[in-house]
Amino acid sequence: MSHDRMPLTIAIVEDHPVVVEGLQRILINDLPIRAIREYYTGKDFIEDVKRGRQPIDVVLLDITLPDMNGIDLCREIKVLLPDTYILGFSNHNDRSLVMQLLANGACGYILKNASASEIITCILHALDGQVAFSEEIKRIINKPSAQQLKAIPPLTKREKQILKMIAEGKTSVDIAKDLMVSPFTVETHRRNLMQKMDVKNAAALIRTATELQLL
């Protein structure tokens, strides 16, 4: 498999050597790799990052580590490496865990029983700026609980329209031109959307809307 990409530096934060070895074989076989770094604890990874080594493109992060919670570690990684793509890599298929990880800055979630092709596809989707899930996680994500469905805030037709355009990456000025309204009107709708979703920024708005199947 060939990809027109710069060589990648990938970090694997996982405490089971056999899993690390299997991942390495998959990555080296199917991706242009500059380096693969192995870390068996969250502490080792954070300390290495703080030493300022070569930037990391992708982190494959286990949720259950011997020294810390991977969900909390994800948030810390995003503070230190805001441009790095983080993919959860775990046996846990609990929907709430997936959503917590995304809320802390991850861009996807892969189950450890995923096939090699799923793992590679998820990494490539993450590098392309997409939210990436292995197939089983997609099925889990697409089945919100009754309680979660009840929590979906009512949106007006215009709010749904603007939400979709925000998710497409359009600015308020762009949206205003497309809808032939003032930027102030768009900003008002944007604020109302964030208030209804109880979020503070556009990224969280898109994540929440996706979780609630509004996009």
Residue 158 sits in a domain whose CATH number is: 1.10.10.10
- Could you tell me if 41 and 120 lie in one domain? yes
pLDDT at 85: 96
Domain boundary (111, 141, 171) is at: 141
Separation CA 61–CA 22 (nearest Å): 15
**Residue 1 belongs to some domain of the structure:** no
pLDDT at 151: 63
Q: Which residues of 101-135 are buried (b: 16+ CB within 10 A; e: fewer)?
A: bbbbbbbbbbbbebeeebbbbbbbbbbeeebbbbe
- Could you tell me if 48 and 113 lie in one domain? yes
- Could you tell me if 28 and 101 lie in one domain? yes
- Could you tell me if 20 and 116 lie in one domain? yes
Tell me the per-residue pLDDT of 141-152, one tens digit each, with 9 for 90 and over. Answer: 777 555 555 566
- Could you tell me if 122 and 163 lie in one domain? no
- Could you tell me if 30 and 104 lie in one domain? yes
The domain in which residue 17 lies consists of 8-141
φ/ψ region of 162 (left if φ > 0, alpha if ψ in -120 to 50, else beta) reads: alpha
* Helix pair 157-167, 202-211: axis angle to 10 deg: 110
Tell me the per-residue pLDDT of 21-71, one tens digit each, with 9 for 90 and over. Answer: 999 999 999 999 999 999 999 999 999 999 887 789 999 999 999 999 999
**Residue 58 belongs to some domain of the structure:** yes
Residue 49 sits in a domain whose CATH number is: 3.40.50.2300
**Residue 3 belongs to some domain of the structure:** no
Contact between 193 and 159 (Cβ < 8 Å): yes
| Pairwise pLDDT comparison (162 vs 148), residue with the higher score | 162
Separation CA 88–CA 73 (nearest Å): 11
- Could you tell me if 26 and 128 lie in one domain? yes
**Residue 195 belongs to some domain of the structure:** yes
Tell me the per-residue pLDDT of 85-130, one tens digit each, with 9 for 90 and over. Answer: 999 999 998 888 898 899 899 999 999 999 999 999 999 999 998 8
- Could you tell me if 20 and 122 lie in one domain? yes
Domain boundary (82, 117, 141) is at: 141
- Could you tell me if 27 and 88 lie in one domain? yes
Separation CA 190–CA 185 (nearest Å): 9
pLDDT at 2: 36
- Could you tell me if 123 and 187 lie in one domain? no
Domain boundary (141, 158, 174) is at: 141
- Could you tell me if 155 and 123 lie in one domain? no
Domain total for the chain?
2
Least confident of 74-78, 121-125, 201-205: 201-205
Q: Is the pTM here over 0.95, yes or no?
A: no
